[in-house]
Amino acid sequence: MKVLTVVGARPQFIKSCMLSKEMKSNLQTSEVIVHTGQHYDDNMSSIFFEQLNLAKPDYYLGVGSHTHGKQTGTMLVELEAIMMSVKPDVVLVYGDTNSTLAGSLAAAKLHIPIAHVEAGLRSYNKKMPEEINRLITDNLSNWLFCPSPSAAENLKKEGIEKGVYVTGDIMYDSVLYFKNIALQTSTILEDLSLTKKKYYLATIHRAENTDDPDRLKSILKALQKLEMDVVLPLHPRTKSKLITFNYSHLISSSHIKIVDPLNYFDMLTVASQAQLILTDSGGLQKEAYMLEVPCITLRDETEWVETIHSGWNYLTGADTKKIIESVKTIEIPQKYPRLFGDGTTSKKINEILINETN
């Protein structure tokens, strides 16, 4: 089986790594990797290839940052040419980024079967670019690998049942594999003078928060009022918006520790040792759960509904008062159900693909 994998953004390097390892160790599979270049800064891309020991991409498109149409369209043109020359049996896409959408569209038009990892997630908010990417990718996919039963339920409601598998969450494979290596090698806690379980980790990068000056201000005001250290790794988008909106005074308090985007090992370390995580990231909400750290989600809705139902995740939106109140009242639930499988998702996916393409 020849698989062409499309990745491009930071979380996709993490998601693809364990399945790539699985495919490499299996003689029946060969993988061609295309990196679209959606993320291109060293600390958003190459450091992840290094730490996760990912193979150098066979193709690097260098697409970079543009409007959604131009970014997706440029990828589409390039991916089509590569797929026509590589002639893969399967195109493998991950998550919900513009790279996911371009990969699945290019493959569908060439009648190449598509496998979507992290299928079936829905926020039911079409203002999110990711929701559009998910809806289209799921509709075009032949294999839909769902991280949880609720994702499969979402697909069922849309009439998608064929090719749907609940395999568990592929990020959990990476967390289990890399957590100890990260804790042993990262020096981030010492570097930032952080005491275990005596600080909060915050991340903000979603367009709905960063591009709306009121929401961004409201979140930063909450962080300003927290009574413990807050580590705030700044996504390039957030950094540029802070300058545009003239908000640097909102992050100038000494308890807010601004750092560049963290590499995977530093992120796993900082996240696992935090008392609480505040984030608008989808991946970090899950990682918080996987690392048994409670989470406050700075959005009005989430795709990861099971983390909310289990009491480990709270939705506050961007409301200053709600955020502060939730930080004060949050409690660690006694129960910790296995929401995202058993850490063998990549193995399961590889087996299904091999069985069904032969």
Task: Tell me the catalytic residues.
Answer: 205
Question: To the nearest whole angstrom, how small is the minimum distance from the Cβ of residue 10 to ligand UD1?
Answer: 5
Q: 116, 179, 205, 215: which one contacts ligand UD1 (CB under 6 A)? A: 205
CB within 8 A of 237, min separation 6: which ones?
Answer: 205, 207, 210
Q: How far is CA 63 from the centre of its chain?
A: 20
Task: Tell me whether residue 11 or residue 343 sits nearer to ligand UD1 (CB atom).
Answer: 11
Token code pair at residue 188: 């981030």
Binding mask 121-140 for ligand UD1 (x = CB under 6 A): --------xx----------
Question: To the nearest whole angstrom, how small is the minimum distance from the Cβ of residue 2 to ligand UD1?
Answer: 26
Instruction: List binders of ligand UD1 among 49-68 (CB under 6 A).
Output: 65
Report the distance separating Cα 275 and Cα 228, nearest Å.
10
Q: 5, 6, 11, 115: which one contacts ligand UD1 (CB under 6 A)? A: 11
Q: Does 185 bind ligand UD1 (CB under 6 A)?
A: no
Q: Does 97 bind ligand UD1 (CB under 6 A)?
A: yes
| SS3 label, residue 348 | helix
∠ CA 156-157-163, rounded to 5°: 20
Q: Strand pairing partners for 34? A: 6, 59
Within a 10 A sphere around the Cβ of 131, how many other Cβ atoms? 18
Closest CA to 100 of 126, 124, 135, 67: 135
Q: Strand pairing partners for 59? A: 34
Q: Does 247 bind ligand UD1 (CB under 6 A)?
A: no
Task: Tell me whether residue 9 or residue 323 sits nearer to ligand UD1 (CB atom).
Answer: 9
Q: Which stretch binds ligand UD1 (CB under 6 A): 94-102, 149-157, 321-329, 345-353?
A: 94-102
Q: Does 244 bind ligand UD1 (CB under 6 A)?
A: no
Mutual angle of helices 170-185 and 282-290, in 10-degree steps: 70
Q: Which stretch binds ligand UD1 (CB under 6 A): 33-41, 162-170, 223-231, 298-306?
A: 33-41
CB within 8 A of 351, min separation 6: which ones?
Answer: none
Q: 5, 29, 36, 38: which one contacts ligand UD1 (CB under 6 A)? A: 38
Closest CA to 205 of 230, 233, 225: 233
Q: Does 15 bind ligand UD1 (CB under 6 A)?
A: no
Q: Does 263 bind ligand UD1 (CB under 6 A)?
A: no
Q: Does 287 bind ligand UD1 (CB under 6 A)?
A: no
Q: 2, 28, 41, 185: which one contacts ligand UD1 (CB under 6 A)? A: 41
Task: Tell me whether residue 98 or residue 137 sits nearer to ligand UD1 (CB atom).
Answer: 98
Token code pair at residue 112: 């190449």
- For residues 173 and 248, the answer to whether their CB atoms sit within 8 Å is no
Cα 328 to Cα 202, 225, 284, 294, 320: the distances in Å are 15, 11, 21, 12, 13
Q: Which stretch binds ligand UD1 (CB under 6 A): 36-44, 212-220, 269-277, 303-311?
A: 36-44
| SS3 label, residue 116 | strand
Q: Which stretch binds ligand UD1 (CB under 6 A): 32-40, 46-54, 140-148, 299-307?
A: 32-40
Question: To the nearest whole angstrom, how small is the minimum distance from the Cβ of residue 1 to ligand UD1?
Answer: 27
Q: Does 73 bind ligand UD1 (CB under 6 A)?
A: no
Q: Does 318 bind ligand UD1 (CB under 6 A)?
A: no
Q: Does 180 bind ligand UD1 (CB under 6 A)?
A: no
Task: Tell me whether residue 64 or residue 337 sits nearer to ligand UD1 (CB atom).
Answer: 64
Q: Where are the beta strands (DSSP E) in the chain?
A: 2-7, 30-35, 59-60, 90-94, 114-117, 143-146, 164-166, 199-203, 229-233, 256-259, 276-279, 295-297, 313-315
Q: Does 10 bind ligand UD1 (CB under 6 A)?
A: yes
Residues near ligand UD1 (CB under 6 A) are: 9-11, 38-41, 44, 65, 96-98, 129-130, 205, 236-237, 240
